[in-house]
Structure 1
Amino acid sequence: METVRSQTASAAGVRVKKRARLTSDHYMSFLFLAPSFLLLLVFVYGFIGWTGYVSLSNWNTLVPDFSFAGLQNYIYLFQDFRFQADLRNTLFFTILFIGLVIVIGVSLAVLLDQKLKGESIFRNIFFFPMALSFVVTGVIWQWLLNPSTGINLFLKTFGIQPKWYTDTTILAGFQWGKTEFGIPVAIFAVVIAAVWQMTGFSLAMYLAGLRAIPDEVREAARMDGATEFQLFRKVILPLLKPITVSVIIIMAHISLKIFDLIYAMTGSGANFVTDVPGVYMFETTFRGNYYANGAAIAIIMLLTVAIFIVPYLIQSRRGEV
């Protein structure tokens, strides 16, 4: 009996302790956080839900029409020549953009990690483009790559006259629905501008990762007979894998929803060779008044971004646990 009473008393004490954990400080914390949670609930998740609801309606005129349309707007988009071109452009833009940002970022980080003279100057030069908005970058590179101005004035002296973002050529193309599926030459111009701006971020990430690798690890590899190339390929690169994953996720998030750079630099382009879902959504919704179609594009963009972000967040959460 005494054992049972002691166990009951200890259980009651545990319950009392659990109840005592919620103090006035906790309630004040909840009170201060409540407005943020409420705004997040309304202006993020509420609007996402509203966009999804509109995408399933017939609201494609100035007058709202919320009658249920099912997946009609989504079916229309995937059969639409322009949206097919948008998906093609986004695919190749994302691959080229992420690949070049990683390669150039790693290369520059390795060079700066050699502790060269004037490192801070070079580091600031490489970081400077990140201080600009994509709109400014788009306007600058639109002028630089204009067929009649900028870089082309210099290239003309060598008999070279590239069309840059006005080129409608599709490399290695094959027919996909109504669209020729291949790499649009014009997309390279947009990739150059995007890589110029975001390489500084990749450089900062990789430079921090290189500086975090202990010198003992490098010395141990050298003592085992590893060359500098083997040291970089078999020791340093594997240690930088978490940074590479982070860079890929962040750059993919930027590339899949990019709008301002392309809209300021090229717009949709001739034959939609530089068009992306963000530009199509803007013109469809706010110029064509096809609100349901625009909402469907927005939901598709959200899902494509979630494909990259959600697994990364789940993996990060499991790693923390």
Structure 2
Amino acid sequence: MRRARTWLPGLLLVTPSIIAIAVFVYGMLGWNFRLAMTDKHSEVAEGKFVGLKNFVDIWDLPRWHLSVNHALMFTVVFVGGALLLGWFLAFLMEKGIRGEATFRSIYLFPMAVSFIATGIVWRWLMNSGTGEQAVGLNRLFAAIGLPQWEWFRDDDWGMAAMAIPAVWQMSGYVMALFLAGFRGVPEELREAARVDGCTEWGVYRYVVLPLLRPVTLSALIILGHISLKVFDLIMAVSGKQIITDVPAVFMWVAVFDSHDPAKGATIASYIVLSVAIFVVPYLIWSVRKERR
């Protein structure tokens, strides 16, 4: 009876959240996967069960291959760029520069801005106009004699340019993670390495960086799942264009423009599965680490 009195109030407190998550998260995921396994390719179709046919057939669509390739390029540039820039900024902060609090606030500020606002600003900065019509960065490059770029309209590297606003926005967050990791390394370990003859670079390579692996993994997971389901930034910068198509935009077009619920649900299922590839191993690793 006493045990029931102990856990019952807590259970009643979290029950609404459990029900909401069960219905609006896992329930909607289940409904989406169920829809993806039907032939409901129009809004008036009955939707008969076809198994994994839609998951196989979508690989015959050239636009799907293009959107996947774009997502992969965006992910590589965004994750790699944010990790490197965030680590470098954290390294500068960790060395104790003057005005650290001010710089830390400046670097973190972009994270407070939504991807929509970021996209609107960078759409002007990355305008592909040249010559007298150049604005944004191209106008600056023309003034100082540098070549002008087509940015996200480039057929080969457009998605790499599209990742620049995302790197600008999230590198401050990565900096905060790495800075906390730097500050968490005991000074005794660094001094011991210096006494053993390590140079300052050796201290970071053999002592500090190995201890930052959990931070790096966390940042990688967070950035990876953001990049795989990116939608608002793409829509704000370029809109629904083939040249910057990604799975999330393709899903929007399939559902609301082509009126093909089954195809849209199939794309959404692939996005969920790709995110799960990042998140689930991290959750398993975190649980095992806590049990040790």
Q: TM-score, normalised by structure 1?
A: 0.86
1:49 is the counterpart of 2:30:
yes
1:167 is the counterpart of 2:154:
yes
Mean Cα displacement is larger for which, 133-142 or 149-158?
Answer: 149-158
Provide the C-alpha distance between the structure 2 equivalents of 1:74 and 1:224, rounded to a whole number of angstroms: 57
Q: Cα deviation per residue 1:62-116 (whole Å; 9 max; x = unaligned)?
A: 2142211222222221111111011111112111211111111111111111111
Higher strand proportion (structure 1 or 2): 1
Aligned residue number for residue 278 of structure 2: 308
Q: Which structure 1 residue ranges, 5 or more long, are not aligned?
A: 1-18, 171-184
1:210 is the counterpart of 2:182:
yes
Number of residues of Structure 1 aligned to a counterpart in Structure 2: 285
1:33 is the counterpart of 2:14:
yes
Q: Secondary structure at the match of 2:244?
A: coil
Q: 1:75 aligns with which of 56, 64, 70?
A: 56
Q: Cα deviation per residue 1:7-63 (whole Å; 9 max; x = unaligned)?
A: xxxxxxxxxxxx64222x422222222221111111111111110111011112121
CA contact (8 A) 1:58 1:292 kept: yes
Aligned residue number for residue 218 of structure 2: 246
Higher helix proportion (structure 1 or 2): 2
CA contact (8 A) 2:141 2:148 kept: yes
Counterpart of 2:147 in structure 1: which amino acid? I
Map 1:191-210 → 2, pairs under 5 A: 191-210=163-182
Aligned residue number for residue 297 of structure 1: 267
Provide the C-alpha distance between the structure 1 equivalents of 2:109 and 2:9, rounded to a whole number of angstroms: 42
Counterpart of 2:67 in structure 1: which amino acid? D
CA contact (8 A) 2:73 2:160 kept: no
Counterpart of 1:162 in structure 2: which amino acid? W
Q: Cα deviation per residue 1:183-217 (whole Å; 9 max; x = unaligned)?
A: xx101211111100000110000001111111111
Q: What fraction of aligned residue pairs are identical, expressed as a percent?
A: 42
Q: Which structure 2 residue ranges, 5 or more long, are not aligned?
A: 130-134
Two-structure CA RMSD over aligned residues (Å): 1.3
CA contact (8 A) 2:70 2:246 kept: yes
Map 1:41-190 → 2, pairs under 5 A: 41-148=22-129, 149-157=135-143, 158=145, 160-168=147-155, 170=156, 185-190=157-162
Provide the C-alpha distance between the structure 2 equivalents of 1:159 and 1:45, rounded to a whole number of angstroms: 52
Counterpart of 2:26 in structure 1: which amino acid? Y
Provide the C-alpha distance between the structure 2 equivalents of 1:302 and 1:223, rounded to a whole number of angstroms: 50
Give 1:268 shift. 4.2
